[in-house]
Amino acid sequence: MLDIRFIRENPEKVQQATKDKGYDVSISDLLKLDDERRNLQQQVDELREKRNANAGKMKGGKPEQALIDEGKQIKIELAERETYLATADKEFNDLLQKVPNIIFDDVPVGGEEDSVEIKKVGEQKTGATDHLDFARERDWVDFERGAKVAGAKFYFLKGDLALLENAIYQYALDFVLKKGFTYMTVPHMVNTRTALGAGFAPRGDKEGNEYFIEGEDLTMIGTAEAPLTGYHADEILDEDDLPKLYVGYSPSYRKEAGTYGKHTRGLFRVHQFNKLEMYVFCLPEKSQEMHEKILAIEEELWQSLGIPYHVINIASGDLGAPAAKKYDIEYWSPVDSNYRELTSCSNCTDFQARNLNIRVRRKDGSLETVHTLNGTAVSLARSLVTIIENYQTEDGKLMVPEALRPYLGDRETL
C-alpha cells in the first residue's frame, strides 16, 4: 500500500496513476475517510486521557464512589466512540488497500499494446517445429497422463527434456550466484497476510490466479516472490546490510483460468512450473539503479544461452498494483515469427515493503520503508519452449546450447 501521508500531499498524482493503471478508486473519497477517521481518533484519545486521569486519582487509598461513577460514565462514552472509530478505520483501510502503487514518469501510459520496445538483440529466424510437436515426437512430455492424474494443463516431463530443465536450472543458478545472490528454497504456501502483502489476489477473487488450501489460511505460491517478500516482514534492517540479494527456487502454481487462446499451447502456459526468481531489498534511492542491474543480469543470462530477444518497458495498464515500473524480456519465436514473454522484472518501490512492515535503520538513526524488486532468472517451462524453438538442427535433433553442456554430461545434441 501507499503511505497515506504521500497521498495527502500528492492526491492528483496518485489519482492519475490509479487511472493510468486501470483501477477505479476515488482518492477524494479516501481522503474524506481519512479526515473522519482522524477526527474520531482525536475524540477517542481525549476520552482515554480523561479515563487515565480519573484512574490515576484512585491510586493507593480506597477509591471514592464519585470517582468510580465518573469512570463508569467515561467507559460508556469511550466504548461508543471506539465502535465508530473501528468502523471508520476499517472503511479507510479497505479503500487504502485498493490504491495501486504510483508509476514512474518514464512508464508508457496505456494498455498492453502501448508497451515500448527499448532494445532488440539477436537474429530473428523463422520456421521451426512447434515445441509441443517436437517434444511429443521424442516422448519428452506427457500432457495426457498429466490430465489423468491432475487435470488439463498439468504434465510430466520425461527423459532428456526433464534433464535439460535441470541443466538450465543448474546453469542459471550458478550464473546468478556469481552475481552475489544468496540461494534460498522457500515455503510453497504462504499465509494470507504474506500473499496480500506481496500483492496477490485474495481468496474469493474471481479473477485471481491462486490456488488455496481448504480449511487453512494458506495460498499456494504463484512465484517465490511471495515468500521472499515476507521473509523480512516486521524487521528493521541495517543500512549496512543492504542491498539483500536473494534468489529463490520453487514451483509456481497458477490457475490461469480463462486464458485459453493465443500462446497457451503446450508448456507455454501451464498450472505448474519451476522458476528461479531474483528478489532484492534495497535502499529507496538505489532501487532504480538496481532495477537496471536486474534487467542486465537477465539479458546477460539469455545472451549467454544464445536466445534472440527484445526488452519492453511495460505500459501502465499492464503493471499490476505493486509495480512502479516493469521490464519484460520477450524471446524471438521462430514458430510464431513474433516475440513471446520470457522473463519479467519489476521495481515495486516501497509498496510491498509497507504492506509487510519492512524498514531500514538509516545511519542517522531514522527509519524508512525499504524498496523491493523482483526479476525472473529462468522460468523453466518457458525456457524449454524457447530452447526447443531456437535450437532445432537440420537432422531433427535438439542442439544443446554450449553453456548448458557441462550440465548435461557434455552432450552436444539431444
Catalytic center residues: 254, 269, 341, 344, 382
Rounded to whole angstroms, how far apart are CA atoms 329 and 111? 17
Smallest distance, Å, CB 217 to RNA?
A: 8
Q: How many residues does the chain have?
A: 414
Rg (CA), the chain: 26
Instruction: Report, in Å, the least distance between residue 386 CB and RNA.
Output: 33
CB 315 within 8 A of CB 109: yes
Q: Specify whether the CB–CB gap between 93 and 2 falls below 8 A.
A: no
Q: Which is nearer to RNA, 64 or 106 (CB)?
A: 64
Candidates 170, 381, 132; CA nearest to 271 is 381
SS3 1: coil
- Collect contacts of 395-402 with beta carbons under 8 A, ≥24 apart: 398/134, 398/160, 398/164, 400/164, 400/167, 401/305, 401/306, 402/306
CB of 5 vs RNA, minimal distance in Å: 7
Q: Beta partners for 156?
A: 142
Shortest spacing between CB 51 and RNA, in angstroms: 6
Residue 81 or 382: the one with the smaller Cβ distance to RNA is 81
Q: Min. distance of Cβ 231 from RNA in angstroms?
A: 15
Minimum CB–partner distance for residue 224 and RNA (Å): 20
Query: Which three three-digit cell numbers place residue 290?
Result: 538496481
Distances (CA, A) of 388 to 49, 232, 339, 359: 71, 38, 15, 44
Contact, 324 vs 351, CB < 8 A?
A: yes
The Cα–Cα gap between 275 and 176 comes to: 13
Distance CA 299, CA 327 (A): 11
- Residues in contact with RNA by the rule CB under 7 A: 4-5, 38, 41-42, 44-46, 48-49, 51-55, 58-60, 63, 67-68, 71-72, 74-75, 86, 236, 359, 367
42 versus 413: smaller Cβ distance to RNA? 42
Sheet order of strands, 212-213 included: 189-190, 218-220, 212-213
Strand order in the sheet with 367-369: 236-238, 359-361, 367-369
Smallest separation, CB 326 to RNA (Å):
28
3-state SS class at 374 = strand
* Phi and psi at residue 367, to the nearest 5°: -115, 145
Nearer to RNA, 57 or 262 (CB): 57
Least distance from RNA to the Cβ atom of residue 66, Å:
11
The vertex-250 CA angle with 130 and 102, nearest 5°, equals 90
> Closest CB to RNA among 3 and 336?
3
Side-chain-side CA neighbours of residue 180 (13 Å)? 8
